[in-house]
Amino acid sequence: MNVWIHIILLLGMTTGLSAQTLTSDQRDFLNKEIRFLNESIHRMVIVFQVYENYNSEITKHVDLPTNEGIKNTSSHLPENLFADNNLVRRGDSPLELYAELSADPMKDKMPLNNWSLIQEAKGVIDFLNKDRKKMDNIIDNEDLEKFSNIQMIYGEIEKALEYYDKLRSTVKVFEKLHLNTYHAQEISPEKKQVYTAILELHYDVKKLVRQLRADSRSGVSTSVTKLEKEIGWLRACVAKLESTQQRSELNSVVVNIEKLIAEINNYLDNKPVPAGYEPFGRGYYYHNYELLPKINQYGSGYVWKLGEFFKKYEWPVLNLLEEPHYIKVVYPERIPIEMMAGDGIDPDENIRELIAAELPQLEKIVVDTTIDAPKEPEEDKVEEEVKKVVPPPVSIIAKETIKVDSAFFEISLYDHLRKDGDRVSINVNGQWVHERISLEKKTTKIKLEINNGAANYIIIRADNEGWSTPNTIGISYKGRVTENNVSFRQDLKTNEAIEIRFIN
């Protein structure tokens, strides 16, 4: 059953129960369910790293000019990552916890029966452990030069993405279902104030993390402003606790959350990410590698520390839920994404021969400067030279002009609409200087040199049209005194040229 159908059904059952407090046994059972979800998330970190490694390795394998196999699989890991007790600091594995929960008669005595959500999570971890072993088998035993095997590996990573999203939705539904239960805990007024402040802060951290998934700077910025105010309120609430030791330990947790906010400010300040993560995007990197370790157990994050705190000082409350990673699939530069559907492609085709056959070949370039040629003042005109190389299989039209103030200059290339897998090649005055540049990444900077006193042309060749046609390309130049921005919408039949004019 779809997890969003669960939320409609389960929330419909909460009428009249929203303010109901829990017995001690009910709270213990619910905390064990939370622990099962959190322990599943901990093991999923390891599976996440396996998938990310496969994504990087198989992409590198395809992009290399010669056959080079993948050497690192997960076959050295335990048979079932979700049954092993030695992978994380706490003992009970998710499968042990699930077995205990299944046999517990309290399962049928809960005011809000969310057992279907726990079963949904169990289905996720069962699939992921089976799937990563399936990929191990392909990589260890199959020919990675065959298109069908490359296609299968990317297909499995795409499936894993869906299952990670499914668990994230399950956690979100669980939190929504028990929102009022969290707030209805019976504790002293001072502790209640602290616990409520923690809950509000945690909910907004979760919102911020989900904004990162969408790489939404505006959403993240709004969330940070709210979190900074909530941290001040939490500190004020903690200061009212009688126990000096508890105040000290909770303030150390607050410091962890402040470090989380510092990382978010690095994101907002456009601090660069490690080069290996540029294809995945900045939101992906900060979500998975900067924020989640400050939330989840594997990085001694604040959720885990709070759980240990509540247990140590016997606060009769519910523990918080952690946040799963998310997977993003990055395809090789040399394979158009639409090829991975495999329509009409022989599954036994050699991947390198396939790439060579699919890449557009442009043997001859003729620049037609008569169509939409820009009109410039007389003093700016230079004698037009048409660079001729052999007949073009596509027409090439010079439609834009960029003025530069140096013979050596740099342009920035980007997808000026939706990032949908567009790839282009760049030809300067008859020479291909950059081929199959991905516009899926952040802005790509290219250094160029032109001939002073002659006509110069940059040819933009669309190597594919991404998921959403046509290919959309933006180019910007900023010099000492001149600045230009141009954009194109083109298909595979028409390549566009930019005239470069040197202005003293």
Phi first, then psi: what are they for 486, rounded to 5°?
-135, 155
Are 137 and 199 members of one domain? no
- 140 by Cβ neighbours in 10 Å (0-12 / 13-18 / 19+) ranks as exposed
- Report the mean per-residue pLDDT for the chain: 79
Are 211 and 155 members of one domain? no
Provide the domain count of the chain: 3
Domain enclosing residue 62, as ranges: 25-186
* DSSP structure class, residue 368: B
Q: Are 138 and 148 in contact (CB under 8 A)?
A: no
Are 29 and 123 members of one domain? yes
Q: Distance (Å, rounded) from C-alpha 234 to C-alpha 195?
A: 9
Q: Distance (Å, rounded) from C-alpha 14 to C-alpha 178?
A: 9
Residue 134 forms part of a structural domain: yes
Q: Are 63 and 332 in contact (CB under 8 A)?
A: yes
Tell whether pTM > 0.85.
no
And the tokens for 329?
Answer: 């699939």
Least confident stretch, 100-114, 435-449, 458-472? 458-472
Specify the pLDDT at position 403.
79
Phi first, then psi: what are they for 409, rounded to 5°?
-150, 175
Residue where a domain terminates, one of 144, 162, 186 = 186
pLDDT digits (tens, 9 = 90+) for 174-192: 999 999 899 988 899 999 9
Least confident stretch, 28-32, 97-101, 314-318, 465-469? 465-469
Specify the pLDDT at position 399.
57
Residue 476 has pLDDT above 50, yes or no: yes
Q: How many helices (H) and strands (E) does the chain have?
A: 12, 9
What's the rounded mean pLDDT across residues 373-386?
A: 39
377 vs 56: which has the higher pLDDT? 56
Residue 313 has pLDDT above 90, yes or no: yes
Are 32 and 171 members of one domain? yes
Residue 370 forms part of a structural domain: no
% of the chain beyond a pLDDT of 70: 75
Are 169 and 207 members of one domain? no
Q: Rg of the chain over CA atoms, in angstroms?
A: 28
Residue 358 has pLDDT above 80, yes or no: no
pLDDT digits (tens, 9 = 90+) for 207-228: 999 888 888 888 899 889 899 9
Q: Distance (Å, rounded) from C-alpha 483 to C-alpha 474?
A: 14
Residue 56 forms part of a structural domain: yes
Specify the pLDDT at position 56.
85
What's the rounded mean pLDDT across residues 255-272?
A: 90
CA distances from 198 to 255, 370, 425 (A): 13, 67, 52
Residue where a domain terminates, one of 140, 156, 186 = 186
Residue where a domain terminates, one of 186, 204, 233 = 186
Specify the pLDDT at position 408.
74
Give the closest residue to 492 by CA, choosing from 372, 386, 359: 359
Specify the pLDDT at position 236.
95
Specify the pLDDT at position 357.
65
Q: Distance (Å, rounded) from C-alpha 456 to C-alpha 378?
A: 18
pLDDT digits (tens, 9 = 90+) for 324-353: 999 988 888 777 666 777 667 888 888 878
Residue 400 forms part of a structural domain: yes
> Could you give the residue ranges of the DSSP H alpha helices within 145-271?
147-177, 179-183, 189-213, 217-238, 244-268
Are 239 and 98 members of one domain? no
